[in-house]
Amino acid sequence: MTDDRRPVAEDLDATTLIELVRHYSPSGEESAAVEYLVGRMDELDFTRAYADGVGNAIGVMGEGPRQIILLGHIDTVQGEIPLRISQLPQREGTGVRALYGRGSVDAKGPLAAFTDAVAALGPVEGWQFVVIGAVDEERDSIGARHILDMYKPDFAIIGEPSQWNRVTLGYKGSAWAEVTVSRPVEHTAAQGQSAPEVAVDFWNRLCTWVDEFNIERQRVFDQLLLTLRGFASETDHFQDSATLRVGVRLPQDVSPDEWYARLEQTSEVSKTSEVSCEITPTGFPIPAYKAERNTPLVRAFLGAIRAADGKPGFVVKTGTADLNIVAPIWDCPAVAYGPGDSSLDHTPNERLSLVEYRNAVNVLMNVLKILSRSNS
């Protein structure tokens, strides 16, 4: 059964979520959503609300010297999904409604929950709660990188879907590179390998090494996850070349530098007096990150989830998030949390249960209460 009415403020406790999702904001086009969120924070009596120098939405509640950062991201992947509220299939909860729309899960749901939880709690003496809707997370995380040196929080919560009763402790790292093989043009009847053939041999050797590395590693979080995202060849009739676009998800015990060194070692087999093989790192390499379980922040989440009649759990993920970027620099207890099923990330069926959203808001509000009262 579908509720065909236009979802607006009558879903009062989900207004922030609904209106934020309504403002479609793929990476690079976040300004309208940022303007909405800043205005919404003003409506909700944040102490200050503004857009910073790179376009992040910033909302500050309170004036205290101690600080909790709630860092979400306001950009989404491409592909607008018509906004609607519909009943979920009965197997997912009788009478439960969900908001369908791009970003409802990844990650406007968590960001809106941050906003509503901080607004519901209000200012706490001695503390400052800072909600950040960062831009560009789905690409190069310009928003998160911009704020690295601006804050030194006591605790950090990163907005990513984990389901309301689970806490994400870690994400794998990532590294990208282009591998370019070049050689002089030969007649097609010659016996030497062409540049594309050399590039394919490189890829096969790399796959074999990764398989051997992973063979005794049972958990995906501990494995190297290799991907080939592009293959192109060209010639100017004097020189042939072939380029592979290679990506990897990294475990904690392999740094980006170590991975690039492995690519160089693998390429050495391809090199001859006539054949060159060049490794060019691309984008921003990101090390893996995993938080400790026994911190005041984790304990606060466990208590808040139990208080909401939930059974808390932990998860580590094979993707990469802004947690990887900010947590090592801020050097404080940090986790990722937010409502939503991450298997719906980036899909045409992206949706968020409104019951789950409300549960997450309550959990977050209680987490902030616990941290600000027990760590004063």
The reported pLDDT for the residue numbered 93 is 64
Q: pLDDT tens-digit profile of 187-219?
A: 554 567 889 999 999 999 999 999 999 999 999
Which sequence spans correspond to the domains of the chain?
Answer: 2-171+288-374, 173-286
* Structure-token match 């001859």, residue found: 272
Q: Which residues partner with 282 through β-bridges?
A: 176
DSSP 26: B
Mean pLDDT of the chain: 92
Q: Where are the alpha helices (DSSP H) in 96-219?
A: 108-121, 142-147, 195-214
Q: pLDDT tens-digit profile of 143-188?
A: 999 999 999 999 999 999 999 999 999 999 999 999 999 998 765 5
In sign, the C-alpha dihedral spanning 135, 136, 141, 145 is: negative
pLDDT tier at 30, thresholds 50, 70, 90: very high
Catalytic residue among 30, 75, 160, 356: 75
pTM: 0.91
Q: pLDDT tens-digit profile of 61-109?
A: 999 999 999 999 999 999 999 999 998 776 666 668 999 999 999 999 9
Q: Give the CA distances from residue 25 to residues 28, 40, 251, 270, in Å, rounded to whole numbers and listed in that order.
A: 8, 16, 31, 44
- Residue 226 CA to residue 223 CA, distance in Å, equals 9
The reported pLDDT for the residue numbered 7 is 38
Closest CA to 101 of 319, 361, 347, 341: 347
CB 206 within 8 A of CB 215: no
Strand (E) positions, the chain? Answer: 2-3, 48-51, 57-61, 66-73, 84-87, 97-100, 127-134, 155-159, 166-171, 173-184, 225-235, 239-250, 276-286, 289-290, 313-317, 334-337, 351-353
Query: Thinking of the domain 173-286, which architecture would CATH place it in?
Result: 2-Layer Sandwich (3.30)
- Residue 64 CA to residue 336 CA, distance in Å, equals 24
Whether 75 is catalytic is yes
Whether 92 is catalytic is no
Catalytic residue among 116, 136, 137, 356: 137
Q: Which residues partner with 228 through β-bridges?
A: 246
Q: Which class is 2-171+288-374 in CATH?
A: alpha beta
